Structure 1
Amino acid sequence: MMLSIFICFLRLGCLSFGGPMAHIALFRDEFVVKRAWLNAETFQHLLAMCQLLPGPASSQLGFAIGLQRGGLSGAIAAFLGFTLPSFILMIVLAQAQALVSDQPLFLILGHWLKLFAVCIVLDAVVSLFRQFCREPQHRLIALFTALLLVFMPSNALQLVLLALAGVVGYGWSAVHAAAPPPEPLPSPASTDGTVRIHRWSLILFLLLFAGSLLDSGTGYLSLFALHYQAGSLVFGGGHVVLPLLQQGVADRLTPDQFLNGYAAAQIMPGPMFTLASYLGAMLVPSAPWAGGAVATLAIFLPGFLLVLAILPVWQQLQTQPRLRAAISAINASVVGLLVATLYHPLLTSAITQVTDLLWPLLAWLAWRRYRLPIWVLVSLFLAAALIDNARL
């Protein structure tokens, strides 16, 4: 069972271009329509849970599907299969960058990849604003968060603002009506082992998160703490990992190195969270595969622990309007956090002249207007880099 789940998710990990929404559609087609591993209602329940929890929604959904199909071993197999292709590609990219970083073509390519990243993050800001800032109070939270982080960027302030937004949302929760009780989810396979683990998973999540806040050292423990903390706070989509990680590596990687990895993560198959694989390899150049593995495990682990902890009580949690209100306010704060990151380091490092701002804007408008596939957008920026290089 574990091998068949691994092979299935490995194939999807090689084919899943286009970001979380494309991954989710691919999962539905594969596991509901083709293989009938679960019915449409169960799929929607799992998806709703993964979208509410912090962490990478599509990877958490794959983990939950593997859990339903084969218990904890099935969930681990699903994660390994889906993540392995992009993990390998991002480690190779980190090693290759060290060899060619001083080449003129690479410098030009890096510039255009940063402009590509501006386009991607701009789209994420607009999409998340439309999704999470429909109410005036949510727009105010987003604006407040963005302004503070533009003028006082820091990891600690990000955590404070997210927590404050949750408290404010909880206080506003009286205006939210309770949702009707949902239908129960079927129990996952191998329930004995799963039940034993889920009792401790929330405690482990909290202990590791507390440890990540206290860490101030270097080495693998610091690498784990940085990525575990980021993985614990990613509300609203994978793009939110950008500001959470950028502040943590600002004193060890240049903006160019960081943004090259972020841009590359957009065009890789599989989860965007394998940006952590690249960062781990860059931060531990003497052992890039070990550094990449530690960072990758750390950034995915919080979301998976929460899936194990929350799945058995998901029906009860869905009926809590105060929880939903707090999550909505946190998501609004996340939008402001992403706006601040769009300004710095993206715009401040990528835009050196007026035309630098023009190209990502035009590309974004064309992308949205004509619904271009992501590979077409990537090809346009790569072609622009080659033309720019040929003119030199």
Structure 2
Amino acid sequence: MNSMQQKSKFQILLEILIVSTKLGLTSFGGPVAHLAYFKDEYIDRRKWLTDKTYADLIALCQFLPGPASSQVGMSIGILRGGILGGIVSFLGFTLPSVFVLVIFALLYQNFSLGDAGFIHSLKIVAAAVVLHALIGLGRKLTPDKSRIAIALAGALIMLLFPSAWVQIAIIIGAGAVGYVLFQKKAESNIEPFHVAISKKFGIASLAVLAAALIFLPVLNQALQHPLLHIFDVFFRVGSLVFGGGHVVLPMIERELVPTGFLSPDEFLAGYGMAQAVPGPLFTFSSYLGTMMQGVSGAVVATVAIFLPSFLLLFGALPFLSELRRRASFQGVLMGVNASVVGILLAAFYDPVLTSSIMDGSDFALAAILFALLNVWKVPAWLIVIIGVAGGYVFQLLGF
């Protein structure tokens, strides 16, 4: 019997919780860094998966909307401890940053932090981090002229017609273009992937996801309850955002800021603070929910934005092994990924630059922070500290 067979179900779940909580407390630096932390802890140290299986999991999760690194963590939990293992893995990795961002939102509301100097510095930090993410994604996802053209077209459309539904249309259109143009670029040597979830359970999960996307907006219109509105917005975002945490920024911003639920300053202050905490950037939703409806809003927003990831994983894992071998599916994904770069480019201009860079000193601080991130590879959590300190220094010097 191997070590996993010798352990009880409870021991396995407890082990998953302990390890994932450790990662949730220490995994700074965004999705790519998270995957490196996962490899060190789950694969190199504990040998829970082989390198090849881990690489396959990463590829599978890139096919899905939602937070890719969180989905990889959930998938490892599912493979290790079943559906409960996935839930426990998610809780350990996510809750530390949820608690920090909820506390920050409460402090922001009760102590007038909107007038504090460090809030503007956090918005400058957000500008540097988004630009860094944009360049990194661009290198990876738009390596040729065709995909650069898709990205530029997506950015142009988003800037001219800013709305959440236009963003979805861009993603669908880019997928169609990818289907036509990029099938010849597909990989042929794809190994099969196995997971202990039945196809019937997968279909049921996808049916629940589809039903929620259809009926939640109708219920929201009929009942007009603030918590239901929060659930509807964040569930839809979690279901439809491709590209990970940074791309959630424009879609949520279009849903909340123009409609008056949050001010641009409140929105970007929370986004800047989210860079300072470990764990998934999607916990930005916990801050937003708190700003809208207190702690209950935080719980609803956090559950709503991550629930689609579970439903998608349960629904997709039994089928993705077959899909990954198809050149047409790989082509669709290439087009979708290129559009993600364009959407992020549009978001970098509005609301990030328009709300953060007000004068030359702001630009200078942003340039310093970007250089530290991009050239000297300073971790994102340290960039937040340097950005806040730099803002105070500039203020003391009269800039």
Taking structure 2 as the reference length, the TM-score comes to 0.90
Counterpart in the other structure of 2:201? 197
Counterpart in the other structure of 2:308? 302
What are the ranges of 5 or more consecutive residues in structure 1 without an aligned counterpart?
Answer: none
Counterpart in the other structure of 1:368? 374
Q: Hey, which bits of structure 1, 4+ residues long, moved more than 6 A?
A: none
| Equivalent runs, 1:77-226 vs 2, <5 Å | 77-101=88-112, 104=115, 106=116, 108-177=117-186, 179-185=188-194, 187-188=195-196, 197-212=201-216, 214=218, 215-216=220-221, 217-226=224-233
Which whole-Å deviations, capped at 9, do the CAs of 1:256-278 have from their partners, x for residues lacking one? 10001111111101111100001
**Structure 1 pair 13–103 and aligned structure 2 pair: CA distance change class (3 A):** closer
Which whole-Å deviations, capped at 9, do the CAs of 1:27-86 have from their partners, x for residues lacking one? 111111222222222211111111221111111111111101110111111111111111
Counterpart in the other structure of 2:239? 232
How far 1:178 moved relative to its partner?
5.3
Which whole-Å deviations, capped at 9, do the CAs of 1:203-229 have from their partners, x for residues lacking one? 112222233555544412221111111
Which whole-Å deviations, capped at 9, do the CAs of 1:154-211 have from their partners, x for residues lacking one? 12211222222122222224533452341443x44xx6xx666323111112222233
Counterpart in the other structure of 1:34? 45
Cα separation, 1, equivalents of 2:129 and 2:225: 32
Residue 375 of structure 2: SS of its match in structure 1?
helix
Aligned counterpart in structure 2 of residue 313 of structure 1, from 308, 311, 319: 319
Residue 370 of structure 1: SS of its match in structure 2?
coil
Counterpart in the other structure of 2:6? none
AA in 1 matched with 2:21: L
Counterpart in the other structure of 1:359? 365
Cα separation, 1, equivalents of 2:177 and 2:49: 38
Aligned counterpart in structure 1 of residue 279 of structure 2, from 270, 275, 278: 270
**Structure 1 pair 314–272 and aligned structure 2 pair: CA distance change class (3 A):** same
**207-216 or 339-348, which deviates more:** 207-216
Which whole-Å deviations, capped at 9, do the CAs of 1:122-144 have from their partners, x for residues lacking one? 11111111111122222122111
Percent of paired sites with the same residue? 37
AA in 2 matched with 1:242: L
Residue 55 of structure 1: SS of its match in structure 2?
coil
Aligned partners of 2:199 and 2:315 also within 8 Å: no
Aligned counterpart in structure 2 of residue 283 of structure 1, from 262, 282, 292: 292
- Please, what is the CA RMSD of the aligned residues? 1.9
Aligned partners of 2:155 and 2:346 also within 8 Å: yes
Aligned counterpart in structure 1 of residue 66 of structure 2, from 55, 61, 78: 55
Residue 182 of structure 1: SS of its match in structure 2?
coil
Cα separation, 1, equivalents of 2:113 and 2:189: 59
**Structure 1 pair 386–325 and aligned structure 2 pair: CA distance change class (3 A):** same
Aligned counterpart in structure 1 of residue 391 of structure 2, from 381, 385, 388: 385
Cα separation, 1, equivalents of 2:203 and 2:163: 34
**307-316 or 358-367, which deviates more:** 358-367
AA in 2 matched with 1:136: K
AA in 1 matched with 2:203: R
Aligned partners of 1:121 and 1:239 also within 8 Å: yes
Aligned partners of 2:361 and 2:394 also within 8 Å: no
**Structure 1 pair 96–83 and aligned structure 2 pair: CA distance change class (3 A):** same
AA in 2 matched with 1:335: V
Cα separation, 2, equivalents of 1:177 and 1:76: 33
How far 1:18 moved relative to its partner?
1.2
Taking structure 1 as the reference length, the TM-score comes to 0.92
Which whole-Å deviations, capped at 9, do the CAs of 1:292-319 have from their partners, x for residues lacking one? 1111111111122111112122221111
Which whole-Å deviations, capped at 9, do the CAs of 1:95-130 have from their partners, x for residues lacking one? 0000222675x1x11111111100001111111111
Cα separation, 2, equivalents of 1:175 and 1:31: 34
**Structure 1 pair 101–132 and aligned structure 2 pair: CA distance change class (3 A):** same
AA in 2 matched with 1:294: V
Residue 386 of structure 1: SS of its match in structure 2?
helix
